[in-house]
Structure 1
């Protein structure tokens, strides 16, 4: 049973959420109109990362353009996460530049723009640019580097160079927990020395 104090806290939380959502919708009016003009009908962009990319691929240029505008941290994170797809690979250089230039960004409110950028950089990485992604993973000054591991994890069983890199990164304090949680592939089991 919820106490009166619990009900008040719950009501205050719901009011705060409603206020935040209304703010997102207000700041996104122009963006939502542009998305609707290409057939993407949503009530706020923060929901778009939960939609399959095939349902909004035609809107990727609009989303990439709006990523450079001034929005709340949560909206910027959502915009970046909408670009966490191979269909956004033509924007990879821009995403990397934004990720690097926002490395010391101070978060304001809910959301984390640099986290969204890290996810976008990893997912949109063109196959021929893995060496550059590896440079980013090794840059200990970048936030959320663990998110950059996804494309490497997928290729570690196919590429001995990446398998060796993963073994090296296994000792990086920011990456060790994630890497050590991965299943050891049979090829790795024989090559590991520790």
Structure 2
């Protein structure tokens, strides 16, 4: 059966069409809820003159310090659900957030393990890390409490730590959680582009 024939068959299948409609309605409800949850953050950003959080041409987060200040303030408030907190954290996933590294690290250390917030903060920290943060990142990677979020720090440690960083990352090649990424880095490529 070709894909065209399969689609024609499915378009005449009432059960399939009912499930499809239900799924689309669920997705629309989730998107609406996500929009409502994020609205207070958009309002806070608008108050400081930020209308767009991403450059539409590049898809990257803007580097305006006011954005980082609002994002950190919103995260510290504890007022949002985990999905929204993860989204807020990822607004800081740009090199321009480097001056806020210590505050972001503090939030990361306090975030619930396995949450979208901790994942977003790990992504932000790894993206804005500078060479002065290598020891802090190494301490995070050494602590198994941070779970798979530690993967985010291997690439910047390798890059910013120079020979010491490469040696550190090579020590995780056999690690059950980090080994695949560490091995990829040692081979000169990585599936995690964080």
TM-score (norm 2): 0.77
Q: Could you give the per-residue CA deviations for residues 38-90 of structure 1, whole angstroms, max 9, x where no partner exists? A: 44335xx7x88983233655422111211223212211111111112222222
2: CA distance, partners of 1:70 / 1:118: 20
Q: Which runs of 5+ in 2 are unaligned?
A: 1-6, 189-194
Q: 2:109 maps to which residue?
A: 100
Shift of 1:103: 4.4
99 and 148 in structure 1: CA distance in 2 versus 1, 3 angstrom threshold: same
Once structures 1 and 2 are overlaid, which stretch shifts more, 170-179 or 119-128?
119-128
2: CA distance, partners of 1:57 / 1:165: 32
Q: Which runs of 5+ in 1 are unaligned?
A: 186-194
Q: 1:59 maps to which residue?
A: 67
State the superposition RMSD in angstroms.
2.6
1: CA distance, partners of 2:104 / 2:46: 24
Q: 2:3 maps to which residue?
A: none
State how 1:9-24 maps to structure 2 within 5 Å: 9-24=19-34
1: CA distance, partners of 2:142 / 2:124: 17
181 and 60 in structure 1: CA distance in 2 versus 1, 3 angstrom threshold: same
Pairing 1:166–2:175 present: no
102 and 38 in structure 1: CA distance in 2 versus 1, 3 angstrom threshold: closer
TM-score (norm 1): 0.77
94 and 48 in structure 1: CA distance in 2 versus 1, 3 angstrom threshold: farther
113, 119, 136: which one aligns with 2:117:
113
